[in-house]
Amino acid sequence: MRSSITTILSVFVIATGAAGAERSLLTKTSSVKGYGKRDRVFFGSDQTVAPSQLHEVYGARVDAGFQYDSSRSRYSNEKLRTSTPTAAVRGYWSGDALALGLGGSFSNSTLNSDAISDTNETAKSRKFLPTAALSLTENITVGASSDVNWLSIKQTNNDLTDQNYQSFLRRDSIGVSYHTPKLEVGVAYVTAANASMTAEESVPVQTGFGLYSNTEAGVRDVYLPAHTTAFARGNITDYVSLQGTISQVQYDANKEGAKTALFEDYRRDDRLAGQVQGVYWMKDLATRVALTGSYQGATFAPYGTLDNGLGYRDVNLYGAAVDGAIELQDRTYLGLSVGLLRGERNQDTDAGRAVAREERAKIATTFNMSI
Q: Where are the domains of the chain?
A: 4-370
Among 225, 217, 274, CA closest to 247: 274
pLDDT in tens, the chain (371 residues): 545 545 544 544 444 444 444 778 989 999 888 898 999 888 888 888 999 999 999 999 999 999 999 999 888 878 889 999 999 999 999 999 999 999 999 999 998 887 656 678 899 999 999 999 999 999 999 999 999 999 998 888 766 667 888 889 999 999 999 999 999 999 999 999 988 888 777 666 656 666 777 667 778 888 999 999 999 999 999 999 999 999 999 999 888 888 888 888 889 999 999 999 999 999 999 999 999 999 999 999 999 877 877 877 889 999 999 999 999 999 999 999 999 999 999 888 777 788 899 999 999 999 999 98
What region does 334 belong to: left with phi over 0, alpha with psi -120 to 50, or beta? Answer: beta
Q: What is the pLDDT of residue 207?
A: 62
Contacts within 8 Å (CB) and 24+ apart, 82-85:
82/109, 82/110, 82/111, 82/112, 82/312, 83/109, 83/110, 84/108, 84/109, 84/110, 84/308
The CATH number of domain 4-370, selected from 1.10.3720.10, 2.40.160.60, 3.40.225.10, 2.60.40.10: 2.40.160.60
Give the pLDDT of residue 3: 54
Q: Say if CB 108 and CB 83 are below 8 A apart.
A: no
3-state SS of the chain? CCCHHHHHHHHHHHHHHHCCCCCCCCCCCCCCCCCCCCCCCCCCCCCCCCHHHHHHCCEEEEEEEEEEEEEEEEECCEEEEEEEEEEEEEEEEECCCEEEEEEEEEEEEEEEECCCCCEEEEEEEEEECCEEEEECCCCEEEEEEEEEEEEEEEEEECCCCCEEEEEEEEEEEEEEEEECCCEEEEEEEECCEEEEEECCCCCCCCCCCCCEECCCCCEEEEEECEEEEEEEEEECCCCEEEEEEEEEEECCCCCCCCCHHHHCCCCHHHCEEEEEEEEEECCCCCCEEEEEEEEECCCCCCCCCCCCCCCCCCCCEEEEEEEEEEEEECCEEEEEEEEEEEEEEEEEECCEEEEEEEEEEEEEEEEEEEC
Cα dihedral 277, 246, 144, 60 in deg (nearest 10): 0
How confident is the model at residue 257, as a pLDDT?
84
Our measurement of the distance from residue 162's CA atom to the centroid of its chain's CA atoms, rounded to an integer in Å, reads 30
Distance CA 61, CA 103 (A): 12
Q: How many residues does the chain have?
A: 371
Identify the sign of the CA torsion 188, 280, 336, 70.
Answer: negative
